[in-house]
Structure 1
Amino acid sequence: MWSNKRSIVLSICVCFVVAAMLLVLVFFGPKLFEIYMIAFRGLSAGGEAITRIGKIFAWAFYPSAFFAVIIIGALLKLLFNIKADNVFISRNVMLLKAVSWCCFAIGIITLISGFFYLPFFAIAAAGGFTGMLLRVLKNVMESAVELRAENDLTI
């Protein structure tokens, strides 16, 4: 039977898999992007276009990867708190707030990069939308923490 605890463990495992993928992309991302652009977009290897797009990719990817590392770390802390039955605590509110700001930062980075390579606009929209959703979730969690604090004081 599938349970809440198993779901949390699965989420933790997914976070570690995503962290490993991010680590691989930090080292091989630009080369993989270049291979993709040559194979599927018809750009010539060593050409001016591939060099320019490769630089734009690197300028957008590496700052975004920094924020992605923060997001993964915060999500892991949040999941371990939930696993320990520490759900409605102010630390989780702070973690959600950090994740939302990191999503907004990635959105801004990719929004700027979108003026040089159009597909980044889609990532910017996703980052902004995700940041907004997380802010709403943070506000709900913050209200729940306050309600719990009030209930703890009630005899």
Structure 2
Amino acid sequence: MWNSNKSLQLSRICTKLVMVLVVVCAILLPYLIDIYRVYSSYYTEDTTVKPFMAILYSCCVPALIALFSLDRLLTNISREQVFTGRNVGYLRRISWCCFAVAGMVAVAGYYYYVFFFGAIMAAFMGLILRVVKNVIEQAMLIKAENDYTI
């Protein structure tokens, strides 16, 4: 039967798989761009491909930082350490990574307009994570206050 522990384990496995996928995509990015260039008339010149590749490579860094932080967060939750300062820090780091990616993808929107939508989605995800971080932070303060109450 499905339970929260199995869901947590699935989340941790998926997080690690996505980490591997980001690294593999970063390694294969030149080949993936070449394949895309075959089917698209937009990226035909090296002057548009190189900045686009630089943006995609630079997005890999905050993506991996966010995924590592998510893995640490899930590890803490599996240890039943939910309302802790570390988890608040992990959520803060993940949200800033979302905002960083949003900024980089917005720059990519200069080359291809559809990336502006990706930037909006990344910024929205960062905003949601900031709200969740604030909720966890307040819950942590309430928990600390309750622990000192007799």
Query: Under TM normalisation by the shorter chain, which class is it?
Result: over 0.9
TM superposition shift of 1:50: 4.2
SS at match of 2:75: helix
In the alignment, which of 93, 97, 110 is matched to residue 105 of structure 2?
110
When normalised by structure 2's length, the TM-score is 0.94
Counterpart CA distance in 2 for 1:138 and 1:93 is: 6
Change (3 A) 1:53 1:31: farther
Q: Which among 52, 56, 67 is matched to residue 57 of structure 1?
A: 52
Q: Which residue of 1 aligns with 2:40?
A: 41
5+ residue gaps, structure 1: none
| AA at the equivalent of 2:56 | F
CA separation in 2, counterparts of 1:49 and 1:37?
A: 6
**Is residue 56–residue 117 contact of structure 1 (8 Å, CA) maintained in 2?**
no
Give the corresponding residue for 1:25: 25
Identical-residue share of aligned pairs (%): 36
Q: CA RMSD in A?
A: 1.4
1:82 maps onto 2:81 in alignment: no
- In structure 1, how many angstroms separate the alpha carbons of the residues matched to 2:108 and 2:92? 24
Show structure 2 runs of 5+ residues with no match: none
**Which of 136, 145, 154 is the equivalent residue of 2:140?**
145
Relative to the length of structure 1, the TM-score reads 0.91
How many Å separate the matches in 1 of 2:67 and 2:81? 19
Runs of 4+ in 1 over 6 A off after TM superposition: none
Question: What's the offset of the Cα at 1:42?
Answer: 4.5
Match of 2:115 in 1: 120
Q: How many residues align structurally?
A: 150
Aligned mates of 2:72, 2:101 — CA distance in 1: 20
Deviation at 1:36, TM superposition (A): 2.1
Amino acid at match of 1:36: Y
